[in-house]
Structure 1
Amino acid sequence: MRLHDAVPQAGSRRRKRRVGRGIAAGQGASCGFGMRGQKSRSGRSTRPGFEGGQMPLYRRIPKLKHFTVINRKYYTIINVEDLQELPAGTKVTLDSLLEAGLLTTDDGPLKVLGNGELSVALEVEATAFTAGAKAKIEAAGGSCHLVV
């Protein structure tokens, strides 16, 4: 018999601690919670992360710089300069760009960015446009349609 062999029987239970039953029980008057204070009160425990009313760490930190946005939206992006090689009057959608080979992957809804120049009139359907992209498409004689 070794010390590590001395384990309780399977299914056995340890009796519950009877607190506040006098000095002989070992957990008398204050029941092991000390004299006074927030941690000695009934219903006493504070929630995890509580810092006594001070702004807790989990609420202070995200206000600093360089924190990522939770549940951010992911877009499949394309620049106006990439649309330049399409023929005039083409209806541009995410599916048509994938078929044409201008995009290789579908990373979410289509967003058109305004980098470059455009001289071809196109009918573009996308979920989002930057202000510059919308201005360049309409200046070239095209139209922008928002798809929800």
Structure 2
Amino acid sequence: MKLHDLKPADNANKNRKRRGRGGSSGLGTTSGRGHKGQKARSGGGVRPGFEGGQMPITRRLPKRGFNNSKFAKTVEIVNLSDIDIKYADGETVNRETLVEKRLIKGNKDLIKVLGEGDFSKKLTFDVDKVSGSAEEKIKKAGSELS
């Protein structure tokens, strides 16, 4: 088989509908839009959720309950294996150094260290949260949490 022998599978490439190309095309004259009316016009149609002037369902249903999304804290996560690669002994792991070393973007509320991978460096951790397995590995390596 050579490059010039390659071709797509049968029915893999479907031709697009070519609207407004004469009566015999099946999509001539009105081009599938019907006769006149709002939806036949250029730019016509109604916004999503519009129910023809009837009271929309989003307004008919009562609003109940509490949603925490307004108050929830967003968390950036970092694995110990990534920290082990990017940091040298004696360094401090905090928001500034993590952003500097491109392990996080720094646009979320909290930073959490997870214990995935191997870890063997002596570092000082100044982060918001640490998982149980990460804490175990950090103490085992002789690093300190603050």
Give the TM-score, by structure 1 length: 0.49
Give the TM-score, by structure 2 length: 0.50
Of structures 1 and 2, the larger Rg is shown by 1
